[in-house]
C-alpha cells in the first residue's frame, strides 16, 4: 500500500482488521492507515500483502497486457482485480480515483 499516513505498528489492544475482520491480537504487528475524516484503521499483514499484490497487478501488469493476455497471466480478469482493490480501498475510507496521497 503506497498511501501516506500509514505505518507498521505493534497493536497494544486487540483490533479487528478493516478488510477481513480477523482479529489482530494485542502485540501483533500490523499496518495502520490514518485518514483525515475517517480515522485510524488497522489492517492485518496478510491483507496488506493482498493489497500490494492487487496494486501491482492492476497497475504494473495492466500497462503491458491487453485483457486477454492479462487473464492468461493472472487467471483473474483485470476488472475483478480492480473491483477487489476498490473494495479494500472502500473499507479503508479511501476514495478510488487514482488518489494515492
Ligand atoms: Zn485482514
In this structure, how many other beta carbons lie within 10 angstroms of the beta carbon of residue 74? 16
In a domain, 54, yes or no: yes
Q: What pLDDT, on a 0 to 100 scale, did the predictor assign at position 79?
A: 79
Q: What pLDDT, on a 0 to 100 scale, did the predictor assign at position 54?
A: 86
In a domain, 100, yes or no: no
- Predicted model pTM: 0.75
In a domain, 59, yes or no: yes
**What distance in angstroms lies between residue 86's CA and the mean position of ligand 1's atoms?**
15
**What distance in angstroms lies between residue 62's CA and the mean position of ligand 1's atoms?**
25
Q: What pLDDT, on a 0 to 100 scale, did the predictor assign at position 63?
A: 47
> From the first residue on, what is the mean pLDDT of each consecutive set of 10 residues in the chain (101 residues)?
76 96 96 87 94 79 55 68 88 68 41
Range of the domain at 76: 6-91
Count of domains observed in the chain: 1
In a domain, 101, yes or no: no
In a domain, 66, yes or no: yes
**Residues by chain with Cβ below 5 Å of ion ligand 1:** 17, 19-20, 44, 47
In a domain, 64, yes or no: yes
In a domain, 73, yes or no: yes
Amino acid at each position: 500500500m503506497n498511501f501516506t499516513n500509514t505505518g507498521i505498528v505493534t497493536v497494544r489492544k486487540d483490533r479487528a482488521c478493516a478488510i477481513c475482520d480477523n482479529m489482530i491480537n494485542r502485540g501483533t504487528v500490523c499496518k495502520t492507515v490514518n485518514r483525515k475524516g475517517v480515522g485510524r484503521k488497522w489492517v492485518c499483514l496478510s491483507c496488506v500483502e493482498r493489497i500490494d499484490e492487487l496494486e501491482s497487478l492492476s497497475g504494473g501488469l495492466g500497462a503491458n497486457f491487453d485483457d486477454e493476455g492479462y487473464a492468461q497471466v493472472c487467471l483473474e480478469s483485470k476488472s475483478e482485480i480492480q473491483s477487489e482493490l476498490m473494495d479494500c480501498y472502500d473499507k479503508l475510507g479511501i476514495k478510488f480515483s487514482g488518489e494515492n496521497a
